[in-house]
Amino acid sequence: MKDALSADDTSGARPLYAVTEETLGSWLDGMSSEVRAWVQANDFKGKPGSSLILPSADGAIAGVLCGISTPADIWDLGGLALSLPDGSYLLGGVAADDPKAAGTLVLGWILGAYKFRTYKKDGRKPARLVPPKGVDLALVEALAEATYMVRDLINTPANDMGPTALAEAAKELAARFGADYAEVVGERLLEENYPAVHAVGRAAADAPRIVELTWGDSSKPTVALVGKGVCFDTGGLDIKPASGMKLMKKDMGGAAHVLGIAHVLMALKADIHLKVLIPAVENSISGNAMRPMDIVSTRAGLTIEVANTDAEGRIILSDALARAGEASPEMIFDFATLTGAARVALGTELPALFCNNDALADALLASGTAVQDPLWRLPLWPGYRKMIEGSTADINNAPEGGYAGAITAALFLEKFVDAKTPWVHIDVMAYNRSSQAGRPEGGEAMGMRAVANLILERFGKG
């Protein structure tokens, strides 16, 4: 992450002039006729995302001109770190006037420098950006580091990111920030009353577990984060077709997201007591796998009719949400790669937000807009509660027909949350299907900055 920043070393940095389509003309007025001719010859108009290297008389690079949006868009500089020639670049031009906008641009630059390098160590080093004065580097670095962690966790294939490895990542994060760490593994899940986590994960060679990270002063308001940690989703006995299974290493994306948020909150010393819960399992097939129409009991006491073993996320989240409620939290946020239906409704780039509290939902949507990390609200439509009623158990995990699949999944989770506790559920893709500036193909944090920003604004930081 840090190799895309050059915060203190400005010596030898080339100027990177940010202009907009509107300000390009006045910028050119202050330049030599050679520069004006070069810009014209290259037909550079200041379009957001475009850039132009400016030569010096001796054939070296004098600087770079880049186009940004009004207001500045986080991805405006997202394509530069891995496309500009190696070296460091001092961000100036219109970006120097507004530290908050500059911080957003710097974050986009760093996010665009990401490559998943664990297994294939090729490729160039990113060019380095020197941020202008006034940028909140602690915030930018925390968000960048958290995003890199989320991407790495999701990109790591399931053979190296099973429940044990995912739990280990949570443990390392806890150690780094002095948080308490606990896990309940395998058969002990039954003794400690996490029957739903056990039912989904018991068929896997890597034992299921629930991970609990606790940080901060317990006299402060508790914020609970819950993340779906299905390290691989074969679908179980209701096995997925090859095309649907291919990307399912990303099914622990919810867990990665809540670890990313925890990273930001702990790094910036949020004024809260934090509780992170991750049910970590593999939805596998073997002789002891959960079967269609098995009835699974839950920590909360409700029984679940397993209409489809591929609707496993909501089953494990039921125990984790019940556990989160036991901490009497001020609010609960859960992230989950829960349904294909949410992707049909909103596509891959827009996470679906469900919330039982209108004021919190509005605040979170506004936060997402403010930090350019958008969410879109879908309803916890009461009229569809009848769809998740079970015939032989309290609730059914996969209603017939699949209509409103994202909503019925959210309504299922709602059963495990106290109606008086403000609760946010985010159904997220957690993956870029193809590369765009700043967002390489692969694991992605979506909605993470929106939630982290809301919590920091609501409760303050140290």
Active site residues per annotation: 240, 314
Please report whether residue 255 would count as binding ligand BES according to CB under 6 A.
no
340 binds, among Zn ion, ligand BES, none (CB under 5 to 8 A by kind): ligand BES
What is the closest distance, in whole angstroms, from the C-beta atom of residue 311 to ligand BES in the complex? 4
Compare residues 339 and 453 and give the one whose CB is closer to ligand BES.
339
Distances in Å between the Cα of 186 and the Cα atoms of 11, 158, 193, 339, 374 are 56, 18, 12, 26, 38
Please report whether residue 251 would count as binding ligand BES according to CB under 6 A.
yes
Q: Which residues within the stretch 368-407 sit at the binding site for ligand BES (CB under 6 A)?
A: 398, 405
Q: Which residues within the stretch 286-305 sit at the binding site for ligand BES (CB under 6 A)?
A: none
* CA count, 13 A, side-chain hemisphere, 124: 14
Which residues contact residue 385 at a Cβ distance below 8 angstroms, ignoring those fewer than 6 apart?
A: 411
Compare residues 156 and 337 and give the one whose CB is closer to ligand BES.
337
Among the listed residues 254, 242, 244, 282, the one whose alpha carbon sits nearest the alpha carbon of residue 159? 282
Task: Convert 274-310 to b/e letters by CB count within 10 Å (16 or more is b).
Answer: bbbbbbbbbbbbeeebbeeeeebbbbbebebbbbbbb
Among the listed residues 221, 329, 327, 268, the one whose alpha carbon sits nearest the alpha carbon of residue 452? 268
What is the closest distance, in whole angstroms, from the C-beta atom of residue 201 to ligand BES in the complex? 13
What is the closest distance, in whole angstroms, from the C-beta atom of residue 442 to ligand BES in the complex? 14
Please report whether residue 343 would count as binding ligand BES according to CB under 6 A.
yes
Query: Under a CB-based contact definition with an 8 Å cutoff, are residues 110 and 142 in contact?
Result: no
339 binds, among ligand BES, Zn ion, none (CB under 5 to 8 A by kind): ligand BES
Among the listed residues 148, 129, 140, 110, the one whose alpha carbon sits nearest the alpha carbon of residue 64? 129
Please report whether residue 73 would count as binding ligand BES according to CB under 6 A.
no
- List, in sequence order, every residue forming a beta bridge with 27; answer none if it has no partner: none
Please report whether residue 341 would count as binding ligand BES according to CB under 6 A.
yes
What is the closest distance, in whole angstroms, from the C-beta atom of residue 106 to Zn ion in the complex? 35
Which residues contact residue 150 at a Cβ distance below 8 angstroms, ignoring those fewer than 6 apart?
A: 253, 256, 257, 259, 260, 430, 443, 444, 445, 448
Please report whether residue 334 would count as binding Zn ion according to CB under 5 A.
no
Q: Which region, judged by CB under 5 A, interacts with Zn ion, from 64-72, 215-223, 228-236, 287-295?
A: 228-236
Query: Under a CB-based contact definition with an 8 Å cutoff, are residues 394 and 388 in contact?
Result: no
- Residue selected from 130, 311, 452, 455 as contacting ligand BES according to rule CB under 6 A: 311
* CA count, 13 A, side-chain hemisphere, 69: 13
Please report whether residue 312 would count as binding ligand BES according to CB under 6 A.
yes
What is the closest distance, in whole angstroms, from the C-beta atom of residue 147 to ligand BES in the complex? 20
Q: Which region, judged by CB under 6 A, interacts with ligand BES, from 217-225, 340-348, 413-421, 450-458?
A: 340-348
Q: Which region, judged by CB under 6 A, interacts with ligand BES, from 33-41, 58-66, 337-345, 416-424?
A: 337-345
308 binds, among ligand BES, Zn ion, none (CB under 5 to 8 A by kind): ligand BES
Which residues contact residue 371 at a Cβ distance below 8 angstroms, ignoring those fewer than 6 apart?
A: 104, 449, 450, 453
CA 331 from chain centre, in angstroms, equals: 19
Q: Which residues within the stretch 219-238 sit at the binding site for ligand BES (CB under 6 A)?
A: 233
- Residue selected from 88, 303, 308, 436 as contacting ligand BES according to rule CB under 6 A: 308
Q: Which residues are at the interface with ligand BES (CB under 6 A)?
A: 233, 251, 308, 310-313, 337-341, 343, 398, 405
